[in-house]
Chain A
């Protein structure tokens, strides 16, 4: 028994050591650096600035105002998409199923420029309406809603994929029998599909949140000059203003925001459902 334990530990040791060296140590170092001033002394000034100076806290508010709607809308769109492609047997459903995932294979920067050309005031949307003599300006590029739109483009396929694999685990006969006894779509969704897949839904929501809160390419190229999303603000602090301490403090704040999201997921994951954990006598 003891030998087996040692063997197990030995097998995880290399990956664990690597993780400590390249993940945990840098994080701890960043947290410590965030509490230092330029001469190396302890200070709370960096954090004070982040939460009181409008040029910093507006970035946080702005980032959340882009990311939270992204997460919400993403769920609202990805769920029906996943349900449709998983359960519908029509040919269209199969085509949609094969197509939506292709966006995952487009390099991020290519997609960013393409989307910018779609939504800019002189872009494809505008040109399409011009065919009918209507001058329609989407007014999306360099705005928060524009960033939400682009984030959705990147994240819907990802969320739908996670949901699909979870949905595939529900047997169709179960759903059919529910329908046989007269359950309508909403009842089936809330009483069967949701309880069985909400963990996958939350998992994808958490990943989308973490991915968007630290995003760089999209907000750098298609975001406003102010406020900036946290990823861009962090890059500026570190690579343009060369203020390592401020950058570290900002990174810690971003890490905490992601940790809250991650924490919610872990809590739900640990909390077993009643039916999974029958009371023992």
Chain B
């Protein structure tokens, strides 16, 4: 009898120990649902006047500044649209797990009719991944008829084929110290000449650790190639990388040196820190990062930004409405996107996230234009080279990093 009790206790102990493990997985998948229900309770009171608000889910991912920008957008949107409840489903970056495109693809493949994805954010790479896996039919065609603000957008992503609309742009450009560089280089060739004329005053970050350095690497390698190569994952282009690699080897000794060696700083922030400290005069940087840090005073006022021709690579981010989202939610989803693409929505995004607007910046306030530092980007040099991206990074590590 005693033995039995003990065995019972043992079984209980094992179950108790295992419970948190099992509970964990379930809790995680429920988190999104729980978040949406608790959030909607609050806004429900505000929208008591409306009959039954339409609930839609807006899916996004990235760093925390992206989340903050979305919350500002939704606040402005709800103030004007009491009959819609848009809920942000945000996947923070760097926490592992499934990415947004992976989650979405899995939801579409599950074959369910009413998936909880009503509006999704997609980079060009995400668009390639999603349409490659589940086809363009997974997204609804979007037009000015449903989203009037699209009329004011001069350029759409070539990859969306009318199934998404851009809502913000971002690009790598040059950040420079205007006190030491009177006239920044205007072309890529001028930049190379400037680097050689000013040893130790230029740095691009380790391209394995951040997109700004990677954009400089890609631009250097693909400038001598036909423009079509920039949007091709065909292995044949690898044979033509030599010229660019040789150029990078040639400029290597003229780059920023620390402790007597050329050093490619870690992360996008690494080069910005050097620029702020006055250790270098020019560096490739993400537009939103540089503008945001200028606005916060993390970069001194004498730092300015400029683009070269041909430009450093960048891209536009799109929003799409999945075909499997419920029909009854389509109109609400369109109104949300319309708001985001409107001058009002763009203004909020410029102020909170320092995005590059996709509409003419003349339609934004003077304050927003000041935040943009006079920067306009009407053409983005988009690239999607698929697996070659990784191979290029590997070659950089083997041939350039090793030069020290």
Contact = CB atoms under 8 A, between A and B. Distances in A.
Nearest to B263: A142
A14 B13 contact: yes
3 A-B pairs with least C-beta separation:
A14-B17, A225-B401, A139-B259
B404 A122 contact: no
B264 interface: yes
B226 interface: no
Contact of A226 (B3, B259, B404): B404
Contact of A225 (B6, B10, B17, B206): B206
A225 B264 CA distance: 7
Interface of A: 3, 7, 10, 13-14, 18, 54-55, 120-122, 137-143, 146, 220-221, 224-226, 236, 240-242
A221 to B, nearest CB: 5
B269 to A, nearest CB: 10
A141 B394 contact: no
A115 to B, nearest CB: 14
Nearest to A225: B401
A138 to B, nearest CB: 8
16 contacts: A3-B3, A3-B6, A14-B17, A18-B17, A54-B402, A122-B277, A141-B258, A142-B263, A146-B259, A224-B263, A226-B401, A226-B404, A236-B208, A240-B390, A241-B393, A242-B390
Contacts of B258: 120-121, 141-142
Dominant secondary structure of chain B at its interface with chain A: helix
A55 B397 contact: yes
Contacts of B259: 121, 137-143, 146
Nearest to B277: A122
B263 A225 contact: yes
B45 to A, nearest CB: 41
Given A142-B258, A142-B259, A240-B390, A122 B279 contact: yes
B404 A241 contact: no
A215 to B, nearest CB: 14
Contacts of B279: 122
Interface residues of B, number: 28
Contact of B14 (A13, A122, A138, A236): A13
B203 to A, nearest CB: 11
B65 to A, nearest CB: 19
| Of listed B206, B263, B393, residue having the most chain A CB within 10 A | B263
Interface string B259-273: 111011011000000
A186 to B, nearest CB: 38
Given A142-B263, A220-B266, A226 B402 contact: yes
Nearest to A145: B259
A220 B390 CA distance: 19
B257 to A, nearest CB: 9
Nearest to A15: B17
A224 B403 CA distance: 11
Interface in B265-319: 266-267, 277, 279
| Of listed B206, B259, B260, residue having the most chain A CB within 10 A | B259
B398 interface: yes
A109 to B, nearest CB: 12
A13 B266 CA distance: 44
Contacts of B10: 10
Contacts of B398: 55
B402 A241 contact: no
B122 to A, nearest CB: 21
B397 A143 contact: no
A135 to B, nearest CB: 15
A140 B263 CA distance: 12
Contacts of A121: 258-259
Nearest to B399: A55
